[in-house]
Structure 1
Amino acid sequence: MNDTAAAGSGNPPGQRARLGAPLDATLEGVGTAALVLDQAGLVVAANEPALRTLDRRLEELVGKDFHDLLHRDEHGNAVPRLRCRLRNAVLGKDTRHGDAEWFARGDGTLFQSCWLVTPYTSAPETAGALVLLYEPPQPGESLPGEDVHSTRLTELDRLALLAETTTQLTSTLDVDEALHRLAALTIPRLADWAVFDLLTERDEVRRALVVEHKDGVLVERDDLQGPMPPVPEESPMPLSRALRGTASSLAGPSTYQGAPDSGIAVEQQRLFTATGMHSAAIAPIRGLRDVLGALTLGRARHREPFTLADLPLLEDLTRRTGLALDNARLYQRQRKVAETMQRHLLPQLPTVRGLEMTARYLPSPDASSVGGDWYDAFTLGDGTHALAIGDVVGHDLDAAAGMAQVRNMLRAFVWSRPAAAPSAVVTQLDEAVMHIAEVPMVTMILARLTRGDDALWRLHWTNAGHPPPLLITHDGQAEYLDGAHGMLLGTEVVRPRPDSVTVLPPRSTLLFYTDGLVESPHHSIDHGLSRLYRHAASLAHRNLDSFCDALLERVRPDDNDDDVAMLALRTPFHTAA
């Protein structure tokens, strides 16, 4: 590839971010011309080698059709769209490569380049393709210092591996999944073994994954995984240096044959003995700020040992791995903080003599993992018990904050008016939501639970646009409490709110829940309610905790990314006071 095209094509990073999608550090790390296209084939981003090679500024590329702007035949004419293999690969989301085709520079001159196209996703909303342009290999060409008899990867193989690694690692936010994906990409293509040693946030070392290629499949070696000794500060041994972020290096059984200088050296002796590796390449996995661990690729059945010429490729792989692990750890850290905050916002359930009561909260599997779902239960001064469940519209931190506002206001209103009908309290809350709460709309149920002179429990409730409670008798008869259904909160529509009262039979189960338990993008809510009805009836004989856990496992739709709150109570068998 000709790198000597006009040099005035560079753009400062800030300008790149304004002109198109921000370039991933992984894309900037690609050593050849690389462009990201959207699903229609329009240029989204390009790295510096691409701008130099094409002799163009980024604003001349972003938003333009890659094929129409750049692809030519040997005479400089536009290549017909339907005959363009590169364009068809982009639109078909395929991985393809082509040899020595013609492309146009900014000054109109032509140059020949090989190309590689592979699907690329830097974020869920930016799916498209990665295009690499690279210089056609010359006959007999080899890398500096490379054994010409080596069977190492060709330049095309190397670029394809790096492109596939970028795609695979940027499409997951799970650390373990990222490690397994990289292992599958490198074994047996590069090695027989892949070993990942990760540093925790407390600088402890964990051998997170050891994988071998055996009988055509990848086999995880649990016996070689687990906690590792601390990283020695001065050890010159390869893995210790890599975990300090010092350098990548080669190793073999002889490297660790002498007296071990640390606990890590002892573990490395055990690793080489157990795996039969005769050659290994070890490189640090670096994040944006810290060293995250080390990757060891080992050869046992591959006869050729690793050489110094293999280390640049390994470092390219670990550079992409570090960025992926950084993103995954940040996501998991934010998810844990958000979920902890959500759980602390939810209350401890009161102990009510003669009643069993339990609750569940299951966060969303996606996004920020918090939302506006909540439950509440507390005892009033006159022996009455208040029950509530609700859902603030939204699935983010704003919804969680709004939930806390609404729940706290509801508690205050109920406590100040213990004898008021639930409908009157919810009407007051609706006025507050419209005037002083920073929430859009809310669905909820508010109920008062009292025990009568006949020792039976009575439920007095109002429903503001929420899925109805489900009442299940001990013998498996179920019914939805459809009464007292009114408008949700925050609509600014003023209508009277109804109340309903029902007697809860002995040994019956009452279930409040949010719509995440029954709603699915691919089925109607009636379908979800029917599933809940059938499974709840079949589980009525179980103890209350087992009942709730089984409902979550059986009923919650797999394709629903909403959070779920549940509040369940069970009345006693005996009705005597």
Structure 2
Amino acid sequence: MTDAVADPVRPIPSQGVGRVLSELERLALLADTTAQLISNNDVDEALHRVVALVLPRLADWAVIDLITDSGDVSRYLVVHADTEGLTVRADLQGPMPPVSDASPMPLSRALRGVASNLAGPQTYEAEPDSGIAVEQRKLFRVTGIKTAVIAPIRGPWEVLGAITLGRSDDGVAFTTHDLALLEDIARRIGLALENARHYQRQRQVAETMQRYLLPQLPRLPGVGMTARYLSAPDASYVGGDWYDAFHLPGGDTALVIGDVVGHDLEAAAGMAQLRNMIRAFTWSQDRPTHGIVDHLNEAMMQITDVRMATVILARLAVDAAGAWQLRWSSAGHPPPLLVGRDGLTRYLTEANGLLLGMPSPRPRSEARVTLPAASTLVFYTDGLIESRRQPLDEGMENLRRHAASLAHRDLDSFADQLLHRARPHDNDDDVALLAIRLPDATGGRVS
């Protein structure tokens, strides 16, 4: 299909446009339409695939008009079938005039959800009664459509648009029998569109919530700090990954990376709860990190709806000798990666306990390490290392190698390239990353 999305469905051969389909063929077409619509949540791809099923089996022209969330009408897709295949007519697509509340013309009636209609060039020969009628007269003239059938696309609660099928030869005219088939197809399109819009709204709400809660990073003299968040490609996988960093009353800096188990808006809401709780506990209680994590685990199971989560809580401080010290405790989270200026790397696997939401059979612990000058500390969530096609160990090794190769980059470039190179191509989860670069031995900041 020219100018369509990649990998469209190959049009099914037909014995000619306008051929009357048997009842079995109609059922097969409806089944194929349903399969294409439920297999993905991408509106554009789904509509292209449906058009590729009905052209040229039912018609040689397909037009889809959609009503946006704001009530505007858009001629979303116009496709022509000929001997060369399917061609998208982008020149006939674009914004449309508003729906007329009183027009008896077929498309206006369909866009109001009143009824399906048969139409032809003669339908629009009279003086146009609306802007939509003007556009329809233009469509029939440019395409040469001789007979058409138009049906509303309805969702569960509202009209979402209309679909028009047209034939530009004088062979077989559409009849009322064809209306029933097109209405069935339009009904399936409506449910798919509503589902896709629901996912998109959910994604926007979850992303807005997450980005609103992701903090401004604190400033530390001589220390570089940067963070990244990438949302999941699928709205249903937008979840509960977060990072945090903030100053503590005693002068230390708290560093947090976490992930609420699960996806969708519920996980994002759970993330907000845990983020605020760990901030409050860490700020108000001068306790070792494992004590704060224990307290968070107890509170989470009693006063939140979060079932399970992973988290690392760390404290970054300078000792009396001027060396940077890191203390941390992990609740089932992937270990931080320490990257030396020389490219030497190691995972900080100490002090790893069970994830939050599970009673721990043994006490949690806290680990401590002196961080080398000019080294880079990387906290991340599992979306950066997990993949359906590779073991977790391979994902961690992949992250380590890329981080080592980027050790000489400035911190922002390091973070950008690490996400680009290390994130698995088949990743369907969101990713949070927090990177800290320490000063060199003289105390000067390393970019």
Q: Give the superposition deviation at 1:389.
A: 0.8
Match of 2:311?
Answer: 444
1:456–1:575 CA contact under 8 A, matched in 2: no
TM-score scaled by length of structure 1: 0.66
Structural mapping, 1:541-556, within 5 Å: 541-556=408-423
Structural mapping, 1:423-434, within 5 Å: 423-433=290-300
1:290 and 2:158 matched: yes
Distance 1:330 1:401, change over 3 A: closer
Letter in 1 for 2:39: S
Write the distance in 1 (CA, Å) between the matches of 2:290 and 2:161.
Answer: 58
TM-score scaled by length of structure 2: 0.83
Q: Give the superposition deviation at 1:388.
A: 0.6
Letter in 2 for 1:498: E
Match of 1:531?
Answer: 398
1:236-285 superposed Cα distances (whole Å, 9 cap, x missing partner): 33222211122222333444455443332333344334434333322111
1:406 and 2:267 matched: no
- Rg: which structure is higher? 1
Q: Which moved more, 1:547-556 or 1:315-324?
A: 547-556
Structural mapping, 1:556-575, within 5 Å: 556-571=423-438, 575=443
SS of alignment partner, residue 35 of structure 2? helix
Match of 1:313?
Answer: 181
Letter in 2 for 1:530: E
Q: Give the superposition deviation at 1:431.
A: 4.2
Distance 1:224 1:576, change over 3 A: same
Segments of structure 1 that go 5 or more residues without pairing to the other structure are 1-149
SS of alignment partner, residue 394 of structure 1? strand
Write the distance in 1 (CA, Å) between the matches of 2:302 and 2:25.
Answer: 63
Match of 1:120?
Answer: none
Once superposed, what is the RMSD of the aligned Cα atoms? 3.1
Q: Which moved more, 1:543-552 or 1:226-235?
A: 543-552
Letter in 2 for 1:315: E
Match of 1:479?
Answer: 346
Write the distance in 2 (CA, Å) between the matches of 1:538 and 1:267.
Answer: 58
1:421 and 2:288 matched: yes
Letter in 1 for 2:313: L
Structural mapping, 1:341-360, within 5 Å: 341-360=209-228
Write the distance in 1 (CA, Å) between the matches of 2:295 and 2:229.
Answer: 27
Distance 1:247 1:461, change over 3 A: same
2:323–2:370 CA contact under 8 A, matched in 1: no
Write the distance in 2 (CA, Å) between the matches of 1:391 and 1:520.
Answer: 16
Q: Give the superposition deviation at 1:157.
A: 1.8
Distance 1:500 1:218, change over 3 A: farther
Write the distance in 2 (CA, Å) between the matches of 1:387 and 1:514.
Answer: 14
2:202–2:264 CA contact under 8 A, matched in 1: no
Write the distance in 2 (CA, Å) between the matches of 1:366 and 1:179.
Answer: 18
Structural mapping, 1:311-390, within 5 Å: 311-365=179-233, 368-390=236-258
Q: Give the superposition deviation at 1:320.
A: 2.2
Write the distance in 2 (CA, Å) between the matches of 1:373 and 1:163.
Answer: 38
Write the distance in 2 (CA, Å) between the matches of 1:496 and 1:293.
Answer: 58
> Percent same amino acid at aligned positions?
61
Letter in 1 for 2:139: L
Match of 1:138?
Answer: none
Match of 1:206?
Answer: 74
1:459 and 2:326 matched: yes
SS of alignment partner, residue 483 of structure 1? coil
SS of alignment partner, residue 239 of structure 2? coil
Write the distance in 2 (CA, Å) between the matches of 1:380 and 1:428.
Answer: 18
Letter in 2 for 1:167: A
Distance 1:274 1:380, change over 3 A: farther
Q: Give the superposition deviation at 1:180.
A: 1.6
Q: Which moved more, 1:186-195 or 1:356-365?
A: 356-365
Write the distance in 2 (CA, Å) between the matches of 1:258 and 1:504.
Answer: 83
1:229–1:263 CA contact under 8 A, matched in 2: yes
Letter in 2 for 1:429: L
1:295-334 superposed Cα distances (whole Å, 9 cap, x missing partner): 0112236854434443222222212222222233233333
Match of 1:517?
Answer: 384
Match of 1:245?
Answer: 113
Structural mapping, 1:16-55, within 5 Å: none
Q: Give the superposition deviation at 1:400.
A: 4.0
Write the distance in 2 (CA, Å) between the matches of 1:537 and 1:232.
Answer: 63
1:370–1:396 CA contact under 8 A, matched in 2: yes
Q: Which moved more, 1:313-322 or 1:350-359?
A: 350-359
Write the distance in 2 (CA, Å) between the matches of 1:504 and 1:172.
Answer: 48
Match of 1:231?
Answer: 99
Letter in 2 for 1:275: T
Write the distance in 2 (CA, Å) between the matches of 1:268 and 1:298.
Answer: 12
Letter in 2 for 1:531: N
1:462–1:500 CA contact under 8 A, matched in 2: no
Distance 1:455 1:575, change over 3 A: farther
1:434–1:492 CA contact under 8 A, matched in 2: no
Match of 2:20?
Answer: 152
Structure having greater relative contact order (Cα 8 Å, sep ≥ 6): 2
Match of 1:503?
Answer: 371
Segments of structure 2 that go 5 or more residues without pairing to the other structure are 1-17
Match of 1:279?
Answer: 147
1:201-250 superposed Cα distances (whole Å, 9 cap, x missing partner): 22111122222224543332333322222112222332222111222223
1:390–1:466 CA contact under 8 A, matched in 2: yes
Q: Give the superposition deviation at 1:292.
A: 1.0
Letter in 1 for 2:152: P
Write the distance in 1 (CA, Å) between the matches of 2:321 and 2:92.
Answer: 65
Write the distance in 1 (CA, Å) between the matches of 2:139 and 2:436.
Answer: 54
